C-alpha cells in the first residue's frame, strides 16, 4: 500500500512524485507511456503496471495529466472507475472551473472525496518554498489531506469549498499575467526601437513593484465596492494615453497589436458612458462579452 499515487508523469507529475518521495512518502506512480516511470523507480517509487493497480494502491490519488479530457479518459475506464470509492482524488491538471465542478460531480457518483487544484510553480520549484498550490473543495477534505500535500508546495492554500474556485482564481491570475507578459514585451520592443536596453527597462519596472502591489489591492477594493466615482485617473484619460501608444508604435514601425486591443476595451467603456469613472470601471463592459466574442460554454457535462 502506498501513501499516495501519482498518475501522469509528464514534467509536472514527475516533479510531484519526486516531492512526495523526498518527503519520505511511499509513492506509487503510473503513466500511459511506461518508460517515463523508470527514473522514478530508480528513485524509490513503486511503479504500478496499470492505472487500476495505481488507484487501488493508495488512499490518495494525485492526477496530473495534460487536461481534464485526458484525466477523465483514465478514471472513467471501466477497469478503473469502480475502485475510487473511499479514496481522495486530487486533480491538478489545468482547466476551467466548469470542468472542475463536473469532475467533482463524477467523483461523488463514485463515492470518492475530491479536491481540485491549480499549480502556480514550475516543475523545478515543486516541493520548495516558492511553489504555490491552490486547492478547492470541502474544508474537512482539505484538512485531512493537507499534511500529505504540504510536501508539494511551500504555500498550500485552501480557497474554499466550491471545487471550481481554484481554477477560477488561477484563470483570474492568468488574465493578469497575459496582460503583464504582452505589455512588458511591447515596452521592451519600444526600448529596442529607441536604442534603450530592455534589461534597463526590466530593472526600472521591477522597482515599480510596490506601486503595482498597492494598485492591485486598491483596484480589488474599488471593484468590490463599486465605488468608481472618485477616480485617480479616468477611463477617458487612460483611453487617450493608450491611443497615443498606437501612434508611438506606428511611428516606430513596430507592432501595435496590444495598444490597439487595449484602446478598444477602453473605447467600449467610453461608448457605454463610463468615461468619467475610475479606470477599473472597465469591468462594467468586461462583464458582458462583446457580440463578436460569444462562444459556446464548454465542460458543463458530468
**Residues making contact with ligand NAP (CB under 6 A):** 8-13, 31-33, 36, 64-67, 70, 73-74, 93-94, 119, 122-123
Nearer to ligand NAP, 20 or 274 (CB): 20
Closest separation in Å from C-beta 264 to ligand NAP = 29
Shortest CB 266 distance to ligand NAP, Å = 31
Residues 229, 209 contacting (CB under 8 angstroms): no
Q: From the CB of 289, what's the least distance to ligand NAP, in Å?
A: 24
Which one, 40 or 93, has the nearer CB to ligand NAP?
A: 93
Closest to ligand NAP by CB, 31 vs 263, is 31
Residue owning grid cell 463599486? 226
Contact, 207 vs 193, CB < 8 A? no
Q: Shortest approach of ligand NAP to residue 38 CB, angstroms?
A: 12
Nearer to ligand NAP, 53 or 192 (CB): 53
Residue 299's alpha-carbon distances to 64, 80, 90, 207, 259, in angstroms, are 18, 22, 18, 41, 32
Q: Give how far Cα 167 sits from Cα of 94, 98, 176, 189, Å.
A: 7, 9, 14, 32
Cell numbers linked to 95 = 482547466
User: For ligand NAP, which is the closer residue by CB, 70 or 204?
Assistant: 70
CB of 219 to ligand NAP, least distance (A): 25
Rounded to an integer, what distance in angstroms lies between the CA atom of residue 95 and that of residue 235? 32
Minimal distance in Å, beta carbon 173 to ligand NAP?
11
Residue of minimal Cβ distance to ligand NAP: 10
CB 151 within 8 A of CB 124: no
Quick one: 30 or 228, whose CB is closer to ligand NAP? 30
Residue whose CB is less far from ligand NAP, 10 or 198: 10
**Least Cβ distance, residue 233 to ligand NAP (angstroms):** 34
Smallest gap, in angstroms, from Cβ of residue 18 to ligand NAP? Answer: 12
Q: Which residue has the cell 500500500?
A: 1
Residue 268 and residue 290 in contact, taking contact as beta carbons nearer than 8 Å: yes
How distant is the alpha carbon of residue 165 from its chain centre?
11
Cβ-based neighbour number of residue 196 at 10 Å: 14
Q: How large is the angle between the packed helices 209-225 and 198-207, nearest 10 degrees?
A: 60
- Of 70, 166, 68, the C-alpha closest to 119 is 166
Looking at the Cβ atoms of 132 and 243, the one nearer to ligand NAP is: 132
Identify which of 283, 62, 92 has the alpha carbon closest to the alpha carbon of residue 175.
283
Amino acid at each position: 500500500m502506498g501513501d499516495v499515487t501519482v498518475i501522469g508523469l509528464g514534467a509536472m507529475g514527475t516533479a510531484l512524485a519526486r516531492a512526495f518521495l523526498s518527503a519520505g512518502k511511499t509513492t506509487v506512480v503510473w503513466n500511459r507511456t511506461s518508460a517515463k516511470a523508470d527514473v522514478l523507480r530508480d528513485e524509490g517509487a513503486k511503479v504500478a503496471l496499470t492505472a487500476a493497480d495505481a488507484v487501488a494502491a493508495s488512499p490518495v490519488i494525485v492526477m496530473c495529466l495534460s487536461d481534464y479530457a485526458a484525466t477523465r479518459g483514465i478514471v472513467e475506464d471501466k477497469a478503473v472507475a469502480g475502485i475510487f470509492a473511499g479514496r481522495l482524488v486530487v486533480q491538478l491538471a489545468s482547466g476551467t472551473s466548469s470542468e472542475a465542478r463536473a469532475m467533482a460531480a463524477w467523483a461523488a457518483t463514485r463515492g470518492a472525496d475530491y479536491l481540485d487544484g491549480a499549480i502556480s510553480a514550475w516543475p523545478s520549484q515543486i516541493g520548495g518554498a516558492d511553489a504555490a498550490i491552490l486547492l478547492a473543495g470541502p474544508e474537512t477534505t482539505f484538512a485531512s489531506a493537507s499534511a500529505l500535500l504540504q510536501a508539494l508546495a511551500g504555500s498550500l492554500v485552501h480557497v474554499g469549498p466550491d471545487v471550481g474556485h481554484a481554477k477560477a482564481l488561477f484563470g483570474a491570475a492568468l488574465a493578469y499575467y497575459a496582460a503583464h507578459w504582452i505589455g512588458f514585451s511591447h515596452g521592451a520592443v519600444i526600448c529596442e526601437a529607441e536604442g534603450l536596453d530592455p534589461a534597463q527597462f526590466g530593472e526600472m519596472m521591477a522597482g515599480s513593484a510596490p506601486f503595482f502591489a498597492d494598485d492591485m489591492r486598491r483596484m480589488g477594493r474599488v471593484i468590490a465596492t463599486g465605488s468608481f466615482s472618485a477616480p485617480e485617473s479616468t477611463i477617458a484619460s487612460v483611453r487617450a494615453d493608450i491611443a497615443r501608444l498606437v501612434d508611438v508604435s506606428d511611428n516606430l514601425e513596430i507592432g501595435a497589436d496590444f495598444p490597439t486591443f487595449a484602446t478598444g476595451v477602453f473605447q467600449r467603456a467610453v461608448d457605454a458612458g463610463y468615461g468619467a469613472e475610475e479606470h477599473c470601471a472597465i469591468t462594467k463592459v468586461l462583464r458582458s462579452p462583446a457580440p463578436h466574442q460569444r462562444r459556446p460554454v464548454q465542460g458543463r457535462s458530468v
